Amino acid sequence: MNNIVKSALALGLVVMTPILPTSPAEAETHSRSKELVVMESRDLPEQAQTPGNSLFLHSDNTGSTYLYVEQQQGARLSVFDVTDPARIKLVVSTLLATDSAFDFVRPLGEHAELVYFRDSQKEAVLDLRKTKRPVLRMISTVTDLDPAEILPESGLLVTSIAHTYVPADARDYQVIDVAGSDPTQLATVKNVKHRVTNDETGTTFLLGSDGLTVIRRLSIENGYKVHQMQMQGN
């Protein structure tokens, strides 16, 4: 899992703890300091409400960032445009002809992601050359690709040493606001199987039993927007 969020956020925490007092339910839960914003699946495009096992981020050469999510035990792949965390959009949701749940393991170069199927232990490559229309390509060889080295442009250097990929156990997480004198629970995210953070915008994505939950850090997000505008002005 790439760019995993650290346990401590700027003015809040993502932790596994006993239940604390909960803020009233509302769309896009805000911390008292307005630094943290929690967007639950109901605040996102409808397809974000579908549970899944694995997800990863990928940025293209136009400056757009996409979130790829495995759903329905490997039967569906959904892609979300998360370039602007305040306006997350569904790009495409595609049914896959696969036989089991799978995990995104790691990038293979700049335009592909290694995929590992849990039940069959087969591997595949998600081709990202068309970021909005990814293609899942099964690997015909039984060689383990996880330790593979990238050969520039179009090749892999693979060892014959066997490797066992172990998916992470599901856990419950709480998002806690510690800006005030009394810590307040902003949200509880059940059975999180995968999480990833976009370091540029400070956005954390949690994939749980209720689908996708997004934690935004507005100071980092706004700083990134200012930087992007400055870059475009040069």
How far is Cα of residue 223 from the mean position of the Cα atoms in its chain? 21
**pLDDT (0 to 100) of residue 82:** 98
Instruction: Identify the band that residue 6 occupies on the pLDDT scale cut at 50, 70 and 90.
Output: very low
Cα dihedral value 120, 123, 128, 132, nearest 10: 0
Reading the block at residue 45, the tokens are: 């495009």
User: In a 3-state reduction of DSSP, which class is residue 216?
Assistant: strand
d(CA 15, CA 7): 6
Full-model pTM: 0.80
Residue-wise pLDDT tens digits, 87-104:
999 999 999 998 789 999
Q: Which conformational region is residue 73 in: left (phi greater than 0), alpha (psi within -120 to 50 degrees), or beta?
A: left
Q: How far apart are CA 202 and CA 197, in angstroms?
A: 7
What are 206-224's pLDDT values in tens digits?
Answer: 999 999 999 999 999 999 9
Give the Å distances, CA to CA, from 29 to 54, 63, 83, 114, 185.
24, 28, 20, 35, 10
User: Which of 5-14, 31-40, 67-76 is predicted least confidently?
Assistant: 5-14
* Closest listed residue to residue 163, CA positions, set 149, 140, 151, 145: 145
For residue 98, what pLDDT is reported? 87
How far, in Å, CA of 93 to CA of 148, rounded? 29
d(CA 194, CA 12): 19
Distance CA 101, CA 83 (A): 27
The mean pLDDT of 163-181, rounded to a whole number, is: 79
Tell me which residue has tokens 């630094």: 35
> Which tokens belong to 11?
């003015």
Instruction: Look at residues 99, 85, 92, 97 and name the one whose alpha carbon lies nearest to residue 224.
Output: 85
Rounded-to-integer distance, Cα 28 and Cα 42, Å: 9
Distance (Å) of CA 107 to CA 35, 58, 72, 148, 189: 31, 9, 22, 11, 27
**What are 22-62's pLDDT values in tens digits?**
333 446 888 887 889 999 999 999 999 999 999 999 999 99
